[in-house]
């Protein structure tokens, strides 16, 4: 029994080229997926850091009193309405205190978290903390140990809530929505909370 010398053995050049193309395409897809995984492997850490910053700022703001009168200029510690503030101009509304917007240790009331002067301004301009190239300072104004590349904004919005009416007027500003947004590059993370003026009496200044 003999073998026909004309019988095809191995693969043809065309089959080899097709095989290389198929394998090359598959490898390109795998490499692309690996590249994407490497590029975005730090994203969970970034999001976690953004969440930590946002929660920290909300905790800081939540500890501030939400009173009817400015704790520094008001001399009537029993005042529970803006009409009882002494002098009459010492009511608390919006704007950073007379001591200045920085450091935040100057702040003594929820309404101080604005970028405009107060504390009895009719509106609150969004407060920006840090920048893309400057770390967010702590209460003392220090940026030591703070990560660079993250920055945040704080916005206060009067809102009615659960049947409690509220607006931007000092006497009837009973509920504020606090919005903290943290940024990193083109990414952002937002947290909201609500504060009600359940204890309007001013905190006595030290």
pTM of the predicted protein model: 0.75
Name the strand (E) or helix (H) holding 28: helix 13-39
| Statement: residue 9 has pLDDT above 80 | no
Q: Tokens for 67? A: 């009173």
Say how far apart CA 82 and CA 92 lie, in whole Å: 8
Q: Residue 59's CB: how many other CB atoms inside 10 A?
A: 10
Q: What are the extents of the domains in the chain?
A: 43-196
Residue 206, pLDDT score:
42
Contact 42, 48 (CB under 8 A): no
Query: What Rg value do the Cα atoms of the chain yield, rounded?
Result: 30
pLDDT tens digit sequence for 115-163: 999 888 999 999 999 999 999 999 999 999 899 999 999 999 999 887 7
Contact 80, 68 (CB under 8 A): yes
Q: Which of 7-11, 28-32, 183-187 bottoms out in mean pLDDT, i.e. has the lowest? A: 7-11
pLDDT grade for 40, boundaries at 50, 70 and 90 = low
pLDDT tens digit sequence for 44-103: 899 999 999 999 999 999 999 898 888 888 888 888 888 999 998 888 889 998 888 889
Residue 27, pLDDT score:
84
């Amino acid at each position: 029994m003999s073998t026909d010398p004309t019988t095809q053995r191995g693969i043809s050049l065309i089959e080899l080229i097709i095989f290389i193309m198929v394998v090359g395409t598959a490898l390109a897809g795998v490499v692309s997926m690996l590249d994407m995984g490497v590029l975005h492997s730090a994203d969970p850490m970034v999001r976690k850091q953004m969440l930590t910053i946002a929660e920290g700022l909300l905790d800081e703001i939540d500890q501030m009193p939400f009173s009817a009168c400015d704790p520094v200029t008001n001399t009537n510690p029993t005042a529970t309405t803006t009409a009882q503030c002494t002098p009459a101009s010492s009511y608390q509304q919006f704007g950073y205190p007379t001591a200045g917007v920085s450091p935040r240790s100057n702040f003594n009331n929820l309404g101080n978290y604005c970028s405009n002067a107060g504390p009895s301004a009719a509106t609150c301009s969004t407060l920006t903390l840090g920048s893309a190239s400057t770390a967010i300072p702590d209460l003392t104004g220090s940026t030591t140990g703070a990560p660079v590349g993250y920055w945040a904004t704080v916005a206060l919005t009067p809102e009615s809530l659960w049947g409690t009416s509220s607006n931007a007027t000092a006497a009837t500003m009973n509920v504020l929505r606090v919005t903290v947004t943290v940024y990193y590059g083109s990414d952002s993370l937002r947290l909201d909370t609500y504060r009600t003026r359940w204890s309007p009496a001013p905190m006595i200044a030290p």
